[in-house]
Structure 1
Amino acid sequence: MGSFSVTHWLIFLAVVVVIFGTSKLKNAGKDLGAAVKGFKDAVRDENQAQIQDNQNRVIEHANTTTINHDKNNVS
């Protein structure tokens, strides 16, 4: 009795459709899809910002290393 069969899920789905109607379910689906898309975009933007920050740190470190190396060669 711990899990539901396919028949139970079909009956549950039919009851949900009768209670809420297809238009409300369609709108809820659109809203959920938009929320998921917004979340994915936010995660992607954050990852790109972190990648850019890491690249800037590598370039800055390379420039600092080059400057220190040049100072050591001058003396």
Structure 2
Amino acid sequence: MIALVSVDDIVQRVHPLQSVLNQMNRELQTLAIADQHADLPTCKIYLRKLLYEREKQAWKRVNAQNRKNK
């Protein structure tokens, strides 16, 4: 069982993990843990493209900071 979080960071409902995985499009979406310290693991469904863009921007910020420190 997992607590599924909406895009607005509001916990929607508790779902069986397998049911969530079966309903999502795994080519376009990914399931990530939002809070593992809660009573139930709290997960959020992200679009893979948006998650990739966020990670890319974070990597660029870290890389720019490292260049600045040198």
TM-score range, shorter chain: 0.3 to 0.5
Q: Relative contact order (alpha carbons < 8 A, sep ≥ 6): 1 or 2 greater?
A: 2
Between Structure 1 and Structure 2, whose CA radius of gyration is higher?
1
User: Higher helix share goes to which structure?
Assistant: 1
User: Higher strand share goes to which structure?
Assistant: 2
TM-score of the aligned structures, taking structure 2 as reference length:
0.40
